Amino acid sequence: MDQWVAPVALYPDALLSQILMAATYPTNLVQAAQWSQDHPTLQGDAAIQAVAGQPWDASVKSLVAFPQLMSLLGQNPPWIQSLGDAFLAQPDDVMASVQRLRALAQQTGALTSSPQQKVTTLTKTAPPAPAEQTTAAPPSSTIIEIEPATPDVVYVPAYNPATVYGAWPNAAYPPVYLPPTPGEQFSSSVVKGLGYSLGVATTYALFSAIDWDDDDHHHHDDDYHHHDHHDGGYSHNGDNININVNNFNKITGENRPGNTIPWRHNPAYRYADNRVAAQYHSPASATGLSATQAPASRASQRQAAAARFQQSTGHRAAPNASHQPGRQPLQARAQRSNYRGYDTSKPAVQRQANRTHNARERQAHQAPRNAAYHVTRASALSGNDSRSATWQAQQQRGLQSRQRAAPPHSDTPLKAQHPVRHHAERHH
C-alpha cells in the first residue's frame, strides 16, 4: 500500500483527498491530464470553468486548476488505476499509509512547515475502555495534518520518495516516483528533496477535507463503519471525506443545499456503460448522478475494486510499479471515443463524417459538369472520331469535294503538276 500512496502522501489534505477521489475515475483523470497538456496557459478557477462541459466528476474537474499537478498525474495511468482501486477497496488502509509515510518524512526532516504549507501534529487520545472490558484500550495515535499556508494559494509538492522517506522499508517494492515534467516550473528541492510548484491562486478548486477523527457516525447506510479495524487507534480514517457544498456547486453548476456532505463514489463516471454502472449504483435522482450520490452497495464497489487491485498487483504491490509498460487499456479507454480523449468542439468521429459528406457533395456537383464536358468534346471532334459509324462516308464526301475543285481540262493531278513547273522555271 505504501508503494502506491508515497507520491501523494505529503500533499495538503484537501488536495490529497481530491486526488484520491479523482483516482477512482482513472479514465476521466487521463482525459483531464491530456486536456491540461493541450491548454498549458489555463489554471486556477479559469481552468475549472473551461472544463465545465466535460463529462467528468467534480474531483477531476477541480484538479485541472493545477497544471503542474496534472503533468505529474498524467505520467503513470497504471499507478492512478491502482491508487483508485486501493482507495475504493481499502480507504482506511490508504489513510493509515498516509499517516505512516508522513511520520517517516518528519523523522528525516523533510516534512516541516514552510511558506508554502502548514504542518500540524495532533495527538488523538483513544477513548477509555468500558469498565466491563478486560482488554486494554487502544493506544493514542498521532495525526499529521497538512494545509496550504495561505488558504487561497496552493503549491503542489514535488519530491523523490526514496529521499524524503529515508531508507525504504521494503526495497523489493520501491515507491512510485513521479519526477517533475520537463518544462514545468518547480522550485529547487532545498530541504531533504522536497520542492514546490509555483503557487496557484484559486477560490473554490479545493472543496473537500479529510475528517481524520472520523467521529461522524451518521453513515447508517454503510455497515463498513460499524466494525472495528483497530488501525493504530483511529479506525476508518479517510473514509469520511467531507465536501464543501458551496465550492462543489461552483464546480458542478448544481444547487445542492447544506454546508457539508460526505463524499460517495459515483460509478457513473467510472464504468464503460450504463449497464455496468447500474450493477453498482442505485437509480439516479431527479438531478442526475453526481459526485456525492450514494451507491446502492458500497460493499459491492469495494469488492470489485479489491478484485481489480489484487489482479493488478498479485495480492501485493508489484516490484518496480512505476514502470509497467504492459498496462495500456486505460489509455485506450480514455481515447477510444475521441482522438484527444476529452470532448472537443469537433470530435474526430464527427470530423470524419463531415469529410465523407463533403466528398460526396463535391462528387455530386462535379458529375453534371463532367458529363457536359464530355458531350461538348465529342461533338467538336466527332468528324475525326475513327470510331464513328459515319467516318468512311465523311471521308468519301471530302475526296469528292477536292476532285470537283480541280481544273476540268487537266488530266494530271495537282500533286504531279507542281514538280514539272518548278523544273522548267529553273531552266529559264
Cα–Cα distance measured from residue 87 to residue 237, given in angstroms and rounded to the nearest whole number: 11
Sorting pLDDT into bands at 50, 70 and 90, what band is 284? very low
Identify which has the larger pLDDT, 308 or 211.
211
**pLDDT above 70 as % of the chain:** 52
The number of CA neighbours under 13 Å toward the Cβ of 282 is 13
Question: Does residue 99 have a pLDDT over 80?
Answer: yes
DSSP annotation of 227? S
Q: Rounded to 5 degrees, what are φ and ψ at 343? A: -70, 130
Which cell numbers in the block locate residue 190? 532545498
- Does the predicted model carry a pTM greater than 0.85? no
Sorting pLDDT into bands at 50, 70 and 90, what band is 187? low
pLDDT, tens only, 140-153: 588 999 999 999 99
Instruction: Read off the pLDDT of each residue in 229-248 and give the average, rounded to a whole number.
Output: 63
Among 48-57, 148-157, 414-423, where is mean pLDDT lowest? 414-423
Among 32-41, 89-98, 124-133, where is mean pLDDT lowest? 124-133
How high is the pLDDT of residue 295?
43
Q: Which residue is associated with the grid cell 470537283?
A: 404
How high is the pLDDT of residue 193?
78
Among 23-37, 67-81, 248-262, 358-372, where is mean pLDDT lowest? 358-372
Q: Do 159 and 10 touch, CB atoms closer than 8 A?
A: yes
Cα–Cα distance measured from residue 290 to residue 269, given in angstroms and rounded to the nearest whole number: 9
Question: Does residue 100 have a pLDDT over 50?
Answer: yes
Sorting pLDDT into bands at 50, 70 and 90, what band is 366? low
Sorting pLDDT into bands at 50, 70 and 90, what band is 279? very low
Range 246-252, long-range pairs (CB < 8 A, 24+ positions) = 246/204, 247/204, 247/205, 247/206, 247/207, 248/58, 248/207, 248/291, 248/292, 250/204, 251/48, 251/58, 251/61, 251/62, 251/204, 251/205, 251/207, 252/58, 252/61, 252/290, 252/291
pLDDT, tens only, 380-404: 444 444 444 555 666 676 677 677 7
Question: Does residue 309 have a pLDDT over 60?
Answer: no
The alpha carbons of the chain give a radius of gyration, in whole angstroms, of 38
**Which distant-in-sequence residues (6+ apart) come within 8 Å of 316 by Cβ?**
173
How high is the pLDDT of residue 237?
41
